[in-house]
Structure formats: structure tokens, C-alpha cells
């Protein structure tokens, strides 16, 4: 049963992130004031925001970066990513930029830019964090982890057959901003993404400038490559905030199934918290999709668990695994994870009344075959070493609307999952 009374708290207010903290009051509406289309000169409103961010940067050690006269630089940062065909036309976009030479950008400013691009779209859905703490405050700030299958642009436009979603809602220039807006709203310390096919031209350059270190592992035979005007292969991406964590080691894993190499991948990294010096392992994966492939998924899951056994030195290092497992909780692969000797629990079960049930859906779309509502995405964690302090509630059926996802309001057919973790005190010293 659930151990503690749950408290709803605003997603934006709960976080200790001055740069993004919203003042009390109703959520801002998207449409005021409508900015001019395309790159604009720096406006007084934006310059005021720059000063505010600079003030916040001076008074806070959190991730708020000084901007200088960076409004125009910010425009160029976002504008550079606006043309989805840019990567194909200009191969230099495919080269990972040297982040040492990229100037930091202020998350608040980027959020403003995204909102300006999205001014004709309906407002963002409001989601709340549910407080799940059973004990008192912990001595270190929580580790916020976001799991999200962001929907590959090529698959969304060319393969997925979301019959109730107009192609206009999938336009990359705007959908990209919806994705960034979601990331900026919750400011995860760690970001685990699937179906990333705009890593080099969009997510790596922008997130690097927001202070993240990124790793990308494309699928060996990405179905995106079958789509005309694709932007390269899709794959898993893992980002973490460099001011919070130090990379200890990193492994790109091509998953096997019954010893055969498969088209699915994972990234596993051991990170050390700069504040507490504690180490943990974070992994991201995207297992084989579709019905008929349950045993294949199960084998891939076993391979991933075996790899993680080795990486965590037999569960000595606490572990968080994020993924689109393409498997309902009734599937074998889910059972392998739930009963593994790694002692894992699924974080989102804690949102249920009895703490034992997964959410009713993490993806909801309408294909030619009909409505597809499934629970496929999970955040697993070492239940002895870690606690879930809060989790972001899912969208309601009413918010998702009759045409389901993706939509003009929400950029992917999968919902983002976001959890705040802390180390359990009794496990302190485990790695010291």
C-alpha cells in the first residue's frame, strides 16, 4: 500500500530552479503577445528577461547561465535548427560541435523563444508532480530523470500512420519547440530519449549550451532511413547536466537476442554526483516494437540486464533504467525486470492507489488499425539504494483529447515520464 499522503504540487514551482520558476497565479497563456514570425531583433521584453536571468545567475549556483548580449545569439541557436533539411544540405550539421566553444544559453530565454514559435498553437498541458516522499528532506538535491520517446520526425511523418493527427501538427520547426518546451519546463538533470533523429542538428547543440553532456547511439538499421528526406537514423540519446555529474564510464550496447545481434540499442553510463560523490548507473533503451515479437523483446531485456549486472558490479552501484520497452506489464520482459537480482522497482507504479499497478497508458494514438493505448514506458530503479521523491502525473484522457497523440499540443505519441530520486540514507557509504 501507499506509504505517505500524496500532495499535488506545481511542476514549475516545486523545482529549485530560479531561472524557470513561475510566479504564483494562473498558468501563462500561450498566445500573448503574438510575436512577429521568423527571427526578430532583440525586443525590450526579451532584454528584460535577459537581465532577470543574469540577476538570477548571480544569486544562484543552479543552472542559469549569463547571457551577455545573447538574445541575438539565441535566435541564431534556434534558427540554426529550424530547417529540418539543413542536415542533409549541409554536412557540417552532422559533425558533433566542439561544445567547449559553444556559448551557454539561458534556459528561460530558450523557453521564451520556443513559446514565440508556438504562439499559434493551443497552450501546453498542465501536469503536476505528485509528492511521494515517505521520509523527511534529504541532505542533497534530488536527481530529476526524464524518460521520453520523443517520436522520430521521419517515422511520425513517414511511417507511423497517426491517422487523426494532421501533418501540420508534426511540422519539425514547431514540434521541435514543443519537445524543447517540455524539457525546459521540467529541467531534468538526466534526459533519456528514444527515437532521436535530430541529435546532431538540434538536441546536441542546444542541450550542450544548456549545460548537458550528451551521448547518442543510433539503431544500426533505423527505419527512418527508409523515409524520403529523412534526417538520418534514429536512436537513443542520454544527456546529463555537467555541473551536477561527472562521467565515470559509458557503454553503447547493441542488444542481442539469443546471441544474435539485433537492431535495438542501449546506452549505460556510470555517473558521479559532484555534490555527494555518490555513483550510480543510468541506462536508456528502446526495445523491439510490435506484437509477435514478445520473446525477442524478452531476450533483449535479458541481455540488457546481463550487461547492467556487469556494469553495476553485481548491483553494487545503484541503477536507474529508462526505456520504451514496447511491452505491457503482462509481458515476459517486464517480469524479468521486476524479478531481477538487480532488485528493481518501476517508479510509476507509485502513482497508483495501491502502489502496485502501472499507469493505464504511457502512449495513446490512433492508427489505421484503430486506437492504440498502451503502457510501454518505464523508469526502473534500485529499490534498496534509491527512493522516488516525486513523479510527474500523466495527462488525463480529457487533456489528450479525442484525436489522441501526437497533437498540436503534444509532440509525441508517448508521454514523458519524470521522477525525482534521492539516495536512501542507509545505503550511504556503499561506494565509499
3-state secondary structure of 123: coil
Nearer to ligand NDP, 335 or 374 (CB): 374
- Beta-carbon count within 10 A of 66 CB: 14
- Minimum separation from the CB atom of position 374 to ligand NDP (A): 8
Nearer to ligand NDP, 189 or 303 (CB): 303
- Minimum separation from the CB atom of position 224 to ligand NDP (A): 9
- Minimum separation from the CB atom of position 114 to ligand NDP (A): 23
Nearer to ligand NDP, 94 or 289 (CB): 289
- Minimum separation from the CB atom of position 255 to ligand NDP (A): 10
- Minimum separation from the CB atom of position 194 to ligand NDP (A): 7
- Backbone φ, ψ for residue 388 (5° rounding): -90, 115
- Minimum separation from the CB atom of position 291 to ligand NDP (A): 9
Nearby residues of 400 by Cβ (< 8 Å), 6 or more positions away = 364, 407, 410
- Long-range Cβ pairs for the range 218-222 (8 Å, 24+): 218/265, 219/263, 219/264, 219/265, 219/286, 220/254, 220/261, 220/263, 220/265, 221/263, 222/152, 222/197
Nearer to ligand NDP, 137 or 370 (CB): 370
Nearer to ligand NDP, 96 or 161 (CB): 161
Q: What share of the chain is helix, strand, coil (3-state, %, to 5)?
A: 30, 25, 45
Nearer to ligand NDP, 109 or 195 (CB): 195
Nearer to ligand NDP, 222 or 269 (CB): 222
Q: Please spell the DSSP secondary structure of 201-225, one letter per residue.
A: IIIHHHHHHTTEEEEEEE-TT-GGG
**Dist CA 373 CA 383 (whole Å):** 28
- Minimum separation from the CB atom of position 263 to ligand NDP (A): 4
Nearer to ligand NDP, 149 or 346 (CB): 149
Contact (CB, 8 A) for 422 and 387: yes
Nearer to ligand NDP, 189 or 324 (CB): 324
Burial of 272 (0-12, 13-18, 19+ CB in 10 A): middle
Q: Please spell the DSSP secondary structure of 136-191, one letter per residue.
A: ---SS--EEEEEEE---HHHHHHTS--TTS-GGGG-HHHHHHHHHHHHHHH--SEE
- Beta-carbon count within 10 A of 347 CB: 27
Roughly what angle, to the nearest 10 degrees, separates helices 44-59 and 71-80? 100
End-to-end CA distance of the chain: 33
Contact (CB, 8 A) for 297 and 286: no
Nearer to ligand NDP, 358 or 420 (CB): 358
**Dist CA 159 CA 392 (whole Å):** 30
- Minimum separation from the CB atom of position 223 to ligand NDP (A): 4
Nearby residues of 44 by Cβ (< 8 Å), 6 or more positions away = none
**Dist CA 58 CA 316 (whole Å):** 39
- Minimum separation from the CB atom of position 367 to ligand NDP (A): 6
- Minimum separation from the CB atom of position 182 to ligand NDP (A): 16
**For the chain, how many helices (H) and strands (E)?**
11, 16
**Dist CA 86 CA 323 (whole Å):** 29
Nearer to ligand NDP, 15 or 198 (CB): 198
- Minimum separation from the CB atom of position 149 to ligand NDP (A): 5
The contact set with ligand NDP (CB under 6 A) reads: 149, 155, 159-161, 195, 219, 221, 223, 226, 263, 288-290, 324, 326, 367
Amino acid at each position: 500500500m501507499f506509504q505517505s499522503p500524496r500532495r499535488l504540487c506545481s511542476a514549475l514551482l516545486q523545482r529549485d530552479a530560479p531561472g524557470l520558476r513561475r510566479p504564483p497565479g494562473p498558468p501563462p497563456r500561450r498566445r500573448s503577445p503574438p510575436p512577429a514570425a521568423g527571427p526578430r531583433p532583440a525586443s525590450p521584453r526579451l532584454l528584460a528577461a535577459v537581465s532577470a536571468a543574469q540577476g538570477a545567475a548571480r544569486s544562484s549556483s543552479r543552472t542559469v547561465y549569463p547571457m551577455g548580449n545573447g538574445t541575438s545569439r539565441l535566435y541564431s541557436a534556434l534558427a540554426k535548427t529550424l530547417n529540418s533539411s539543413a542536415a542533409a544540405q549541409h554536412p557540417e550539421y552532422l559533425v558533433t560541435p566542439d561544445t567547449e566553444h559553444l556559448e551557454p544559453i539561458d534556459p528561460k530565454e530558450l523557453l521564451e523563444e520556443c513559446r514565440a514559435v508556438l504562439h499559434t498553437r493551443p497552450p501546453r498541458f498542465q501536469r503536476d508532480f505528485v509528492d511521494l516522499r515517505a521520509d523527511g528532506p534529504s541532505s542533497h538535491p534530488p536527481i530529476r530523470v526524464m524518460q521520453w520517446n520523443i517520436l522520430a520526425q521521419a517515422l511520425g511523418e513517414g511511417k507511423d500512420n497517426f491517422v487523426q493527427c494532421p501533418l501540420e501538427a508534426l511540422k519539425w520547426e514547431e514540434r521541435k519547440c514543443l519537445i524543447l518546451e517540455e524539457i525546459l519546463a521540467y529541467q531534468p538533470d538526466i534526459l533519456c530519449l528514444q527515437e532521436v533523429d535530430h541529435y546532431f542538428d538540434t538536441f546536441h547543440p542546444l542541450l550542450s549550451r544548456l549545460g548537458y553532456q550528451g551521448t547518442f547511439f543510433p539503431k544500426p538499421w533505423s527505419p527512418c532511413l527508409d523515409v524520403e528526406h529523412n534526417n538520418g537514423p534514429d536512436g537513443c540519446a542520454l544527456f546529463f547536466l555537467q555541473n551536477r555529474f561527472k562521467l565515470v564510464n559509458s557503454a553503447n550496447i547493441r542488444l542481442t537476442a539469443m546471441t544474435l545481434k539485433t537492431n535495438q540499442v542501449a546506452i549505460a553510463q556510470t555517473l558521479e554526483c559532484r555534490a555527494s560523490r555518490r555513483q550510480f548507473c543510468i541506462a536508456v533503451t528502446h526495445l523491439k516494437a510490435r506484437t509477435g515479437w514478445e520473446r525477442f523483446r524478452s531476450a533483449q531485456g535479458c541481455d540488457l540486464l546481463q550487461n547492467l549486472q556487469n556494469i553495476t558490479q553485481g548491483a553494487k552501484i545503484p541503477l536507474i533504467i529508462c526505456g520504451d520497452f514496447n511491452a505491457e506489464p503482462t509481458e515476459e520482459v517486464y517480469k524479468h525486470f521486476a524479478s531481477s537480482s538487480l532488485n528493481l522497482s518501476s517508479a510509476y507504479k507509485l502513482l497508483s492507489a495501491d502502489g502496485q499497478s502501472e499507469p493505464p497508458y504511457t502512449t495513446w494514438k490512433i492508427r489505421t488499425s484503430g486506437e492504440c493505448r498502451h503502457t510501454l514506458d518505464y523508469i526502473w530503479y534500485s529499490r534498496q539504494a534509491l527512493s522516488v521523491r516525486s513523479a510527474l502525473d500523466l495527462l488525463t484522457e480529457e487533456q489528450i483529447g479525442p484525436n489522441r497523440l501526437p497533437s498540436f499540443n503534444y509532440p509525441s505519441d508517448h508521454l514523458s515520464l519524470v521522477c525525482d530520486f534521492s539516495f536512501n540514507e542507509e545505503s550511504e557509504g556503499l561506494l565509499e
